Every structure is written in C-alpha cells, then in structure tokens.
C-alpha cells in the first residue's frame, strides 16, 4: 500500500515543470498560520469553512496546527473553467451544515485566482449573519481581478501560472502530491 502510494507520487512528479513549494516548506508555513490563527481567535467561537474539493487537504493540516477549540464545515462550489481559466460562473453544490449565526468564520481556501468562487461563497455565508467572516488562502495568485477579495491570512504569493498538488488538481489528478508545482505546459495543451 505505502509502496503503491510512493510509486504514484513519483509518477505525478514527472509531469511537473518545477516545484514551487516542497512538502517541508508547506508544512512549516501551515504550522505558522495555525499558530497565528490560534492567537488571533483565542476566546472566540471559531468555525473553519473549506471549499471542496481543493481546500480540504489544506484544511486537514491547518486544523491540526490550530491549538484552540474550533468546529469545521464544508461548502461545495463548482466554477466552470475553460481550460485552466475561470469562466466566472460559480454554482453552489453544497451549503454549510452548522448554524453559523454569531460565529467567527474563517474560510480556508486552496487558492485565490479570479476570486469568483470566494465572492459567491462569502455572499452565501453572510446570509447567516456570522460575527465575522475572514479568509485564509494558502496561495494568492498575482493577477488583476475585477473586484477585491481581502485576505486575512496568505500562505504564499505565487505567479499567475497553473499549479497543482496539495489538493489542487488538473482534471482531478495531482491532488495527492505533497508539494505544489507548475505543470509542464504540454500536459494541458490537449
Ligand atoms: P477562482 O478563479 O478564484 O474562482 O478559483 C476557483 C477555483 O479554481 C479555486 O478554488 C481552485 O480550486 C481552482 N483553481 C484556481 N487556480 C488554480 C490553479 O492554478 N490550479 C488548480 N486549481 C486552480
Ligand atoms: Mg477550490
């Protein structure tokens, strides 16, 4: 089983043009974010909310790096992408299940790209009148956006390139890579 996992990982690594953040670098940064969030939200009712599917790998590491009591929930959002770019159309496929009124929500997202997904999810969550609503994004793509999405916490700033690994996919693959990297262009030039 573990041998299979290692082989699969190696196979996927071969499709990367370059690694942006290796396993250790990601884990160190996630621990730092966890410490900061634990300090900032001490004494408050914190609920982490992640967006499936991409955000759940980050969520599962981040929640274990947070040392204060908290709950978590999941929201489903699908953004239709033409190739590797967002078309701006987002549909909600799953609402949060917890009662969020008066809670301090921290949205835990894998990547801020066009911002359409976070925009729609924030609108959805605000209806429940939380005490606060902030965003923690592991990656922030350096690009222009039609609207601003304020991020309270950012793991890493990245160039405007299509990245995979650590939850992020291309056609549902590469989510299980422990690192984050840029795909070889020939993979998505299909
Ligand atoms: P948005 O463009 O900010 O709405 O991003 C929507 C979603 O597309 C993100 O939550 C990711 O799941 C996915 N996404 C955006 N950029 C990338 C990328 O570079 N690689 C893989 N997935 C991405
Ligand atoms: Mg996502």
From 113, 146, 169, 190, the catalytic residue:
113
Distance 161 CA to ligand 2 centre (A): 15
CA distances from residue 19 to 15, 26, 177 in whole angstroms, order as listed? 11, 12, 11
> Cα–Cα distance between 158 and 134 in angstroms, integer?
20
What average pLDDT score do residues 133-156 get?
Answer: 95
73 given a catalytic annotation: no
Q: Are 78 and 116 in contact (CB under 8 A)?
A: no
Ligand 1, residues at Cβ distance < 6 Å: 54, 79, 86, 109-117, 162-164, 168
Which residue from 79, 118, 139 has its CB within 8 A of the most atoms of ligand 1, so it is best to mutate? 79
Average pLDDT over residues 136-157: 94
Say what the pTM is. 0.93
What's the CA gap between 153 and 150, in Å, rounded? 9
Q: What is the torsional sign of CA 20, 25, 31, 36? A: negative
User: What atom in ligand 1 is closest to the CA of residue 169?
Assistant: 21
Q: Are 180 and 20 in contact (CB under 8 A)?
A: yes
**Calpha distance 42→69 (Å, rounded):** 9
pLDDT band at 82 (very low <50, low <70, confident <90, very high): low
Query: Which range has the worst mean pLDDT, 58-72, 76-90, 120-134, 135-149?
Result: 76-90
DSSP reduced 3-state for 34: helix
- Could you read off the pLDDT of 101-126 as tens digits, one per residue? 999 999 999 999 999 999 999 999 99
CA angle 184/57/189 to nearest 5° reads 20
């Amino acid at each position: 089983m573990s041998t299979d996992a290692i082989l699969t990982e190696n196979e996927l690594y071969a499709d990367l043009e370059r690694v942006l953040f290796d396993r250790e670098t990601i884990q160190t940064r996630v621990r730092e974010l966890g410490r900061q969030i634990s300090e900032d939200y001490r004494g408050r009712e914190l609920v982490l909310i992640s967006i499936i599917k991409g955000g759940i790998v980050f969520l599962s590491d981040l929640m274990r790096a947070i040392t204060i009591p908290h709950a978590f929930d999941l929201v489903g959002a699908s953004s239709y992408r033409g190739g590797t770019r967002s078309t701006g159309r987002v549909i909600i496929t799953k609402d949060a299940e917890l009662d969020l009124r008066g809670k301090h929500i921290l949205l835990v997202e894998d990547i801020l790209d066009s911002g359409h997904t976070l925009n729609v999810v924030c609108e959805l969550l605000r209806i429940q009148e939380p005490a606060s609503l902030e965003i923690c994004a592991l990656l922030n793509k350096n690009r222009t956006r039609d609207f601003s999405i304020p991020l309270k916490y950012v793991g890493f700033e990245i160039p405007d390139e299509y990245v995979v690994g650590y939850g992020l996919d291309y056609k549902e693959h590469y989510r299980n890579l422990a690192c984050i990297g840029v795909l070889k262009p020939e993979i998505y030039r299909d």
